[in-house]
Amino acid sequence: MSRGGSGGRVRVKTGRGRTAASTRWLERQLNDPYVRRAKAEGYRSRAAYKLIELDERFALLRGAERVIDLGIAPGGWAQVVRKVRPKATVVGIDLLPVDPIDGVDILLLDFMDDTAPGLLTEALGGPADVVLSDMAANTVGHAQTDHLRTMGLVEAAAVFAGEILRPGGSFVAKVLAGGADSDLVALLKRMFTTVKHAKPPASRKDSSEWYVIAQGFKGPG
């Protein structure tokens, strides 16, 4: 590796066993200010700043006492919740193993498993103030298929939110390709007072991800 230019940008040379694509990824990581900031501030991923920025804009965590984190791995969002609301009950779920987080109950399970909603509800011990979803389906390289698979997860998360949120609660979910489709937006508008889209600054400009923010839960759609 070398630093070039007055800005101190790190440049990575393609070495033995390293592909050009992996070299580009490594160089992007090393030069990403959010990656450096996450490391300095103790967050497990740069994604933590997406939630921080969304919370600053929409006050998602204000007064939250019970929070569900769908797709918790590696744990950056749960870390933010614990920092902002240190006394909140936080329950997360993911297919991938997640290192323990103080004060967070983590379920190692596919959210689409039939037992997942019941286990999450039991672990939370009461209605949720906020349901967060940073889930995305494993990509297959076909844009339309990847979008449909991820939207299926988002819709399932929205239905679950309708079962566990308290009146006035909030739902946040990652969507792809510019936002939620019309059917999901219609469902959310029946369930929530306001439904908006946002792309936080921490979300890379070349990424297709957006977030849908639904607030003021009225009841199941």
Which residues are known binding-site members for S-adenosyl-L-methionine?
75, 77, 94, 110, 134
Distance of CA 107 to the CA centre of its chain: 16
* Chain position carrying tokens 């992007």: 28
Catalytic residue among 39, 50, 174, 189: 174
Q: Clarify whether 189 is annotated catalytic.
A: no
Q: What is the 3-state secondary structure (H, E, C) of the chain?
A: CEEECCCCEEECCCCCCCCHHHHHHHHHHHCCHHHHHHHHHCCCCCCHHHHHHHHHHHCCCCCCCEEEEECCCCCHHHHHHHHHCCCCEEEEEECCCCCCCCCEEEEECCCCCCCHHHHHHHHHCCCEEEEEECCCCCCCCCHHHHHHHHHHHHHHHHHHHHHHEEEEEEEEEEECCCCCCHHHHHHHHHHEEEEEEECCCCCCCCCCCEEEEEEEECCCC
Residue positions annotated with a catalytic role: 174
